[in-house]
A and B are shown apart, each in its own frame.
Chain A
């Protein structure tokens, strides 16, 4: 949250990427800025450091600053809501550039632990189930797949079928990765519903009924806590239907809602290349 940082004006003079820079970019910033640069990748942040530096600062033109554009053309000021990092943070980032963008000690990240063969299968299955290309060369897709994979691993076993788990499904798929086989798997694995839901709605509802979902008070989901803002906006249902998630997103065309959207989502104010 911006508020809690607002008094933080102490710049770090010798920052490194993993120790000081990466923690300043939330998962959310990473997703929202995904079309421009991957903020969670050292090489990319280093490559784009000067642009990111511009994206952190509000435009000098008062009208542009008002609507949240940064000094980097066509990019909203980071993070999420048009706003400003505390000066200390921006200075830290500047110091990092000035000292040659040191990488620092790379910590063991959870995504490193993911078995790449299982991930590849998960993405194939996800593509088949969602009906979407889910192009993993797009910067947002792979990190989200990792998050969803890990979340689905925690899904409890279906009471009626002790083998209804993600790993079991992946095993089964790896023996025969064809569309016809997927059609069969859908009929025996209820976790397929969860895979669709997690991509489309960025949350799964396996511990409660969907019909109660719209009406009651927020109920934290035990396996991963209360849904976070990024999950909401990552929800593919908005992109597939060319709807705007009821949330802030960088907009490119004033009064876009007058117009018929094009299939690339241009007039929904969303990035057009998510999957």
Chain B
């Protein structure tokens, strides 16, 4: 059966898909959204919110990004028999090195099979609203040079190229995306870096934390290699007043993975709008629990349909159905979009959109160098309380290393995120400090510390905790060709091949890590922080030779959750999958949105740019459909 009347079919209701659907509906286009996952009960923006998910989160002993969302597979059952119909990689699955029986290399235990010697450390969600369900909400724009690093700085990235668009092409859409998401921030920092705002943010900034302010005072006027160590507030998709029907942030500190009060934006906001606002919902068919399996191509090389399979928690996988529309948008996340394309045969033994053979290649992330320590008193001995674990999990950063003209020609640029979340990322929450202090790392051990002594030590060590993440840029090129997503020979409960990932980091990025390490050491020294960072031997542990050195070194990186590449855009159809409008070079009615289209990670978190590009693509597609209707080449839906 086929329903031919849609203007657009969108696969995926993450920030890219949901915001595009919203734009199409506002423009009176008929849109079908197929969403592999379920709708989180009570996702509506009114209270009570998300009680199921919250219960799962609160009762999970480990508060990782996947905790509130559908639970992992039973280890005794294969994926094919798992009854999990929209599976996804989970945080323990990419971060655990044989702990509690979970290992990132486990090909059977993990949905996403990892093939390289070190882990791809990022995950995603497959529920309505997508990965923003567990994002932090950092909403930075790229700086103008991020789009043209190759031509401006000529870094040693063989095969690298500039983005086919620039900051000025996106500025208008950045502004629009900031309104849709609801970003609180101060444009001064961006403006100073050349990322000029035509309008200010819709909300005043989220106040910087007490910890941020201590660091700000200590680092004031200091520099490293000429870069000022200014601790500046981060623009965030988090309300500072009642905005878009959602309350102001109350500082519940659980932003990743779940904001209990919806002060943090997630794409469920737009899913709600398109499904519950009668003016929009009449144009939208929202189909949760429909997994896109394969794209079909007609004789004219246009996409002619999307074959989807539905599922139901009780009755399991349903029958297939072919949906058709004038235009097709795939917004399924970098890994899943690549998987869907690779699972769609086309002519001459090629797969859909893949005449360049670039689909799935150039998988990237911001690798994170995480450093942590205790803030020392400025005079005398002991630690200074800075009171972490309060407020949004990050409210500030140091942005001056994002575009250092001295360093960018040599090594990858980075931003420095300052965490309000103590040592929870690398070490675990303060409960671990209790365990360490009493020496109860093993069962049945005698308490080493107790009573008032324990209270004093606990306060001292926890209240002075600080954590930085230096998030490094990667630019796709020859070295990322084999950093790729492919199809596994094994299938999930829908009978769809699972993804495999081979992650490979290029030299420019790795050299950047070495430089970032040196910056981090100096930064901790200047802020008078007792460095407690240790190599933990996690799945992001690897060896390499820095440029100019004959000695191999061991480093440990962590994933940022920013899956980038796999269908990169460009101006050369031989080297890229989509053009500057995110339109497939091979099929003019197919658009591939999301950070999969980025040819480099740039120096900020991706989501605001994902939204801006999606809004831009929505405008292009709307104009195209309307022009076709006007010229009479198509009958209105």
Q: How far does the Cβ of A260 sit from chain B's closest Cβ, in whole Å?
A: 6
Known: A83-B48, A84-B48, A215-B96. Contact between A192 and B446, CB under 8 A?
yes
Interface centre among A159, A205, A215 (most CB of B within 10 A): A215
> Out of A66, A214, A243, which one reaches B390, CB within 8 Å?
A243
Q: How far does the Cβ of A13 sit from chain B's closest Cβ, in whole Å?
A: 26
Decide: A216 and B453 in contact? CB cutoff 8 A: no
* Cβ of B631 under 8 Å from chain A: no
> Out of A67, A211, A214, which one reaches B247, CB within 8 Å?
A67
* Cβ of A63 under 8 Å from chain B: yes
Q: How far does the Cβ of B119 sit from chain A's closest Cβ, in whole Å?
A: 13
Q: How far does the Cβ of A161 sit from chain B's closest Cβ, in whole Å?
A: 8
Complex CA–CA separation, A203 to B41 (angstroms): 29
Decide: A258 and B213 in contact? CB cutoff 8 A: yes
Chain B window 240-264, contacts with chain A (Cβ cutoff 8 Å), 1 for yes, 0 for no = 0010011110111110000011000
Decide: B254 and A246 in contact? CB cutoff 8 A: yes
Residues of chain B contacted by A217 (CB below 8 angstroms):
62, 72, 90, 92, 96, 100-102
> Out of B52, B210, B431, B443, which one reaches A200, CB within 8 Å?
B431
Decide: A259 and B458 in contact? CB cutoff 8 A: no
Q: How far does the Cβ of A71 sit from chain B's closest Cβ, in whole Å?
A: 14
Decide: B390 and A129 in contact? CB cutoff 8 A: no
Known: A67-B261, A214-B428. Contact between A241 and B462, CB under 8 A?
yes
Interface residues of B in 45-64 (CB under 8 A from A): 47-49, 51-52, 54-55, 57-63
* Cβ of B208 under 8 Å from chain A: yes
Complex CA–CA separation, A117 to B514 (angstroms): 62
Complex CA–CA separation, A151 to B157 (angstroms): 59
Chain B window 54-78, contacts with chain A (Cβ cutoff 8 Å), 1 for yes, 0 for no = 1101111111000100001000000
Decide: A193 and B455 in contact? CB cutoff 8 A: no
* Cβ of B406 under 8 Å from chain A: no
* Cβ of B429 under 8 Å from chain A: yes
> Out of A67, A196, A210, A247, which one reaches B454, CB within 8 Å?
A196
Complex CA–CA separation, A218 to B435 (angstroms): 18
* Cβ of A237 under 8 Å from chain B: yes
* Cβ of A147 under 8 Å from chain B: no
Complex CA–CA separation, A238 to B428 (angstroms): 13
Residues of chain B contacted by A101 (CB below 8 angstroms):
none
Interface size class of B (residues with CB under 8 A): 35 or more
Interface stretch among A17-25, A48-56, A134-142, A261-269? A261-269
* Cβ of B623 under 8 Å from chain A: no
Q: How far does the Cβ of B618 sit from chain A's closest Cβ, in whole Å?
A: 29
Q: How far does the Cβ of A209 sit from chain B's closest Cβ, in whole Å?
A: 6
> Out of B428, B440, B458, which one reaches A240, CB within 8 Å?
B458
Chain B window 183-221, contacts with chain A (Cβ cutoff 8 Å), 1 for yes, 0 for no = 000000000000000000000001111100100000000
> Out of B49, B95, B389, which one reaches A83, CB within 8 Å?
B49
Chain B window 530-568, contacts with chain A (Cβ cutoff 8 Å), 1 for yes, 0 for no = 000000000000000000000000000000000000000
Q: How far does the Cβ of B77 sit from chain A's closest Cβ, in whole Å?
A: 14
Residues of chain A contacted by B391 (CB below 8 angstroms):
244, 255-258
Q: How far does the Cβ of B258 sit from chain A's closest Cβ, in whole Å?
A: 9
* Cβ of B116 under 8 Å from chain A: no
Interface centre among A164, A207, A230, A238 (most CB of B within 10 A): A238
* Cβ of A158 under 8 Å from chain B: yes
Q: How far does the Cβ of A263 sit from chain B's closest Cβ, in whole Å?
A: 10
Decide: B58 and A247 in contact? CB cutoff 8 A: yes
Residues of chain A contacted by B97 (CB below 8 angstroms):
215
* Cβ of B3 under 8 Å from chain A: no
Decide: B446 and A212 in contact? CB cutoff 8 A: no
Complex CA–CA separation, A10 to B146 (angstroms): 60
Residues of chain A contacted by B207 (CB below 8 angstroms):
255, 257-258
Decide: A82 and B261 in contact? CB cutoff 8 A: yes
- Which residue of B has the minimal Cβ distance to A63? B242
Known: A129-B451, A207-B443, A260-B387. Contact between A241 and B430, CB under 8 A?
yes
Chain B window 443-478, contacts with chain A (Cβ cutoff 8 Å), 1 for yes, 0 for no = 111110011111100110011000000000000000
Decide: A3 and B52 in contact? CB cutoff 8 A: yes
> Out of B49, B208, B436, B463, which one reaches A241, CB within 8 Å?
B463
* Cβ of A271 under 8 Å from chain B: no
Q: How far does the Cβ of B197 sit from chain A's closest Cβ, in whole Å?
A: 23
Q: How far does the Cβ of A167 sit from chain B's closest Cβ, in whole Å?
A: 17
> Out of B209, B430, B440, which one reaches A258, CB within 8 Å?
B209
* Cβ of B388 under 8 Å from chain A: yes
Residues of chain A contacted by B446 (CB below 8 angstroms):
186-190, 192-193
> Out of B102, B209, B252, B433, which one reaches A249, CB within 8 Å?
B252
Decide: B447 and A244 in contact? CB cutoff 8 A: no
- Which residue of B has the minimal Cβ distance to A268? B390
Known: A131-B450, A257-B210, A260-B210. Contact between A241 and B459, CB under 8 A?
yes
Residues of chain B contacted by A218 (CB below 8 angstroms):
60-62, 67
Chain A window 100-137, contacts with chain B (Cβ cutoff 8 Å), 1 for yes, 0 for no = 00000000000000000000000000001111100000
* Cβ of B420 under 8 Å from chain A: yes
Complex CA–CA separation, A269 to B49 (angstroms): 20
Decide: B248 and A254 in contact? CB cutoff 8 A: yes
Decide: A186 and B430 in contact? CB cutoff 8 A: no
Known: A82-B48, A193-B440. Contact between A186 and B450, CB under 8 A?
yes
Pairs across A and B, CB under 8 Å, 5 listed:
A63-B247, A190-B447, A217-B101, A241-B463, A248-B261
